[in-house]
Every structure is written in C-alpha cells, then in structure tokens.
Amino acid sequence: MSFPLLTATALTPAIGAIVTAAVPSARRTAAKWIALAFSLATVGFAAAIVLRFDTDAGADRYQLTESRSWIEDFGVRYELGVDGIGVAMIALTAVLIPFLIGAGWNDADPKEDEDEAPASRRWRPTQGFFALILAVEAMVVLSFAATDIFLFYIFFEAMLIPMYFLIGGFGDRAGEQGEEGQARQRSYAAVKFLLYNLVGGLVMLAALIGLYVATADQLEVGTFSLQAILEARGSGELDLATSTERWLFLGFFVAFAIKAPLWPVHTWLPNAMGESTAPVAVLITAVVDKVGTFAMLRFCLGLFPEASEWATPVVITLALVSIIYGALLALGQRDMKRLIAYASISHFGFIVLGIFVMTSQGQGGATLYMINHGIATAALMLVAGFLISRRGSRLISDYGGVQKTAPVLAGTFLIGGLGTLSLPGTGPFISEFLVLVGTFSRYEVAGIIACAGIVLAALYVLVLYQRTMTGPVKPGLEKLPDLRVRELAVVAPLIALLIFLGVYPQPLTDIVNPAVEHTLSDVDQTDPAPHLEEVEAGQ
C-alpha cells in the first residue's frame, strides 16, 4: 500500500493546529514557531505531491488516490485524488501559509500601549490565531483533494467555522471607530461572511441529496464518488434528465459563486477583508475563495456538462459585471483594504470568465489566474498591512510621500500593485492574456468588455500608489520605519515568485494543461477552429 501523501499533507496542519492551541498562554513565541514549523512541513509534503505527480498526457486523470470505506449505507467514502489543477492549488495553499504566519507574527499579541487604561486592553490569544490558520489550511487542502462529493461538502462548509473566528475575533486594529465600534464592525463582517456562505452551503446540500437520489435511481446504488459518476456518465449508465441536471447545476453553482465571490453575491467580501488582519484577508481571497472557482471546474463542469453549456451566457454576463463593477468600486474606495477587496472581485470575474468560455486557453488561463492572483494579492495586501500597522489607519487620504521615508516598502508595494494590474513580466499577465485569448476566440464582444477591466485596473492601482507613496510627506509619516527583516523575508519571496512565473510559467502549464483537456472533454468542447477563410481573404 502506497504512502497516503494527500492525507499526510492535510493532517500535518491539522495536528499543528492542535499542538499550537495546546501551548500554554505564557508561551506565545513558542506557539508561533510551532505553527511555522508545521506550515513548513506541509510545504514539504506539497512539494512531494508536485514531484510525484505525472504530467504525461496519458497518465491517469486523478493520481495519488486514496479510498476508504466510511459511511457505507449512504455511499460515502473517504476518497482523495488530484489532477493538475488540484496539485497547483494545494501547492499555492501550502506555500502561502508560512508567509501569512510570518506576516501576522505580532497580530494576535496583546496590546502594549502604556498610555491605554488596563480595562481597554483586549487579550488576543496568539495560540488561537495561529491554530485557526492551520485548521483552515487543513480543510482547504482536503477540499482540493476530495473526490467524494460529500466529503468535499463537509470541508467546504467546515472551513467557515475557523474563518468566522479569524474575522470576528482577530480583526484589524486600525479604524476610524473606537474599540467598541471596531468590535461591532468585526462582528458584522464575520456574521455576514458566515450567513452568506451557510445559505450557499444549504442550497448545495439540497442539490447534493438530489444527485444522490438520481444516481441511486439509475445505478441501483447511490454514490457520491466523482470518479464513479464521471465513468457512469461516460458509459451512458447515468443519464440525467435535462431539467434535473439544470436544477442540480444551479444548486452547486450558487454555493461556489458565493464562495468565489461572483456578483451579485459578493458583498460579504469587502466587509470581511476590510475588518480582518492583512494575513487573514489574504487567507480569504487567495486561498479560501479559490475553493469556489476550483469547484466550478471540478464539479459544475464535470458533473453537469449540458447544464454548464446552458448556463454559459448568464455566467459570462455575471463574470463581466464582476470585472467592471469590482474595478469601478475599487476606483472609488477611501479604504486601502476595501480597494484591494473590490479589485479581487474584478479578478474573480476574469477567472470565472475563463472557466466558462469553454476553451483550453480560457480554462488554462483561469487556473493560472487563481495561482498568480493569490501570489500578487498576497504581496500587495501584506505590504499594505505593514503600512497600516505603522500609521494606524486604513484611509488612503492619511498617506503621502511614503517613498521618501520608506523606499523599500514603497518599492515592494509598487511591484505588488503592478502584479495586480497584470503588468507584462508578472505572473497575472500570462493568466489574463490567456483568458482574453480564449474569450475572443469564442465571444468577441465579451472579450472587448473584459478588456475595459484592464484599463480600470491600471487606474485604481496607479492612483492608489500615487496618493499614498508620492508627493509631499504627510504629517506623522516623517519617521515612518521601512520594512524590517521579518517583513522583507515575507514579501521578497512572493515578489520573486510573481516575477518568475511571469517570465517562465511552463512549470505551471505543464501541470495544469492535461487537467484542462480532461475538463473540456467532460463538457464535450473543443477549441474553435481558426477562421482560415478570413485570413486568406485578408492576404
């Protein structure tokens, strides 16, 4: 029996969460190092997954598979397996978590302001903060690896619990309100996040039950196994009625669209990111939200190909609205973190657009976008978090001339911003380019509209940089410290990775492309043929 690598990758941060939480309250520093050690061990297991994954086109679709009997009476099994997309997403998750732990090293420590009255100081349990981050990592890894749909659903929902406490219990300390006002805002953001995602989960649960009933009706034995359902559909044993398939698709898609998030079910994200610490904001948008777009590829397109094609015009419209709407609202933001949140909504629009244009370039670009957006957003948000922690304000108007007092901070902020606007030479450029190429090959008007998002992205990023980093130094920023060694150790590797994947994306494309081909075959789609007659006529 082969070593259960996927289980080990998820179990490592889960054990780390338990150990970290058990550290005595007086040993805060020890808890931090323990959490970091377990996150680095997870990186090692993720690297082993990448190395053992066979990228050959003839290899099995799902590799490193594990299968155990679990709840036999209901057809539920503990089944894990990864395709290229799952491998890439697990690697992204594992790589980002140590940087988030490093960036949030002091975020959960008790306040040390001597001028404050003791009654106003709030204890922020360091052990709990890092344990919750590791718990989220474990659940996200299992979500990316689960090939039993019920198992996926369990972790898809379970990750809401630690995220709720990370948002509501460890919020940003910078804000215009006092301590009580900030606590109310954190509570509101956490509850809104939880309610939105719980509603989506309940809708998905109804669809999940419907899928089980449909498989039991046609296969004699109900199953939640993704591989078994795909094989049954391919052989003709399972043939869902058109109306049934469409209703089931909608149940899954609504849950994934909320998690992504996609307009108009996006409104929880700016609140959640704005009120969270910078590392938790990155955890939300760069890791947790990717489960939604990943699931669209794996489950919506794989399980419901006809319904996916039927819904494509509406989904593309929603994606385009997200691109333009998110960018326009980013332009109008006064709060730096909310600006990055609305920018992420625009970027998720590009990801969903690439998924549903049903071309290899679009879906390959969407997958790369999930990874590169995670890295670029992490770099920009973490540097923004370092800046906010120095000034104690999220308002853009409170900054100016930072490049004169903290040039390294300003430089890393600029590079993160340029990655966010998809500058050539950074990873997001390749992703966005492929999404647009795939879109233009099938939906020219949609491609033209999506290009407006590129222009708007350049505006909100460059205006943000101009207002905060250039010009005269604002009062109170004359002695703003530059990036410290720990902060530079967090940001520099992310920037290096951002540039490396922009110059040499082949390691990612080699892993992802075979999985994209399988996904396209699920929905019985091929890339549109070039318009040779038009080309010849032009010559």
Encoded amino acid at 202, one letter: L
Euclidean distance between CA atoms 226 and 282, whole angstroms = 30
Backbone angles phi, psi at 64, to 5 degrees: 55, 35
Report, as an integer, the average pLDDT of 125-136: 92
Whether the per-residue pLDDT at 42 is higher than 70: the answer is: yes
Contact 58, 96 (CB under 8 A): no
Contact residues for 73 (Cβ-Cβ < 8 A; gap 6+):
none
pTM: 0.90
Specify burial of residue 235 (Cβ count, 10 A radius: 0-12, 13-18, 19+): exposed
- Element holding 359 (H helix, E strand): none
| Greater pLDDT, 221 or 79 | 79
Query: Could you report the per-residue pLDDT of 2-20, keeping only the tens digit for each?
Result: 789 999 999 999 999 999 9
315 closest CA partner among 328, 302, 300, 327: 300
Euclidean distance between CA atoms 277 and 35, whole angstroms = 18
**Which pLDDT score, from 0 to 100, does residue 218 have?**
84
Contact residues for 408 (Cβ-Cβ < 8 A; gap 6+):
482, 483, 488
Query: Could you report the per-residue pLDDT of 402-459, keeping only the tens digit for each?
Result: 999 999 999 999 999 999 988 999 989 999 999 999 999 889 999 999 999 999 999 9
**Which pLDDT score, from 0 to 100, does residue 26 have?**
82
**Neighbouring C-beta atoms of residue 492, cutoff 10 Å:** 14
pLDDT band at 477 (very low <50, low <70, confident <90, very high): confident
**Which pLDDT score, from 0 to 100, does residue 523 have?**
77
Contact 52, 87 (CB under 8 A): no
Query: Could you report the per-residue pLDDT of 269-313, keeping only the tens digit for each?
Result: 998 998 889 999 999 999 999 999 999 999 999 889 899 999 999
Alpha helices for 220-304 (secondary structure H): 226-235, 242-259, 268-275, 278-282, 290-295, 301-303
**Which pLDDT score, from 0 to 100, does residue 235 have?**
80
| Greater pLDDT, 119 or 196 | 196
pLDDT band at 187 (very low <50, low <70, confident <90, very high): confident
CA atoms in the 13 A half-sphere facing the CB of 219: 24
Euclidean distance between CA atoms 524 and 519, whole angstroms = 9
**Which pLDDT score, from 0 to 100, does residue 471 have?**
87
SS3 75: coil
pLDDT band at 179 (very low <50, low <70, confident <90, very high): low
Euclidean distance between CA atoms 361 and 297, whole angstroms = 14
Query: Could you report the per-residue pLDDT of 340-396, keeping only the tens digit for each?
Result: 999 999 999 999 999 999 998 999 999 999 999 999 999 999 999 999 988 888 889
pLDDT band at 1 (very low <50, low <70, confident <90, very high): low
Euclidean distance between CA atoms 54 and 74, whole angstroms = 33
Report, as an integer, the average pLDDT of 13-40: 92
Query: Could you report the per-residue pLDDT of 234-277, keeping only the tens digit for each?
Result: 888 888 888 999 999 999 999 999 998 999 999 999 989 988 89
Most confident of 58-62, 112-116, 490-494: 490-494
Contact 322, 345 (CB under 8 A): yes
DSSP per-residue letters across 116-177: S-GGG-----HHHHHHHHHHHHHHHHHHHHB-BHHHHHHHHHHTHHHHHHHHHHSB-S--SS
pLDDT band at 328 (very low <50, low <70, confident <90, very high): very high
**Which pLDDT score, from 0 to 100, does residue 120 have?**
35
Report, as an integer, the average pLDDT of 156-163: 93
Task: Specify the DSSP class assigned to residue 74.
Answer: G
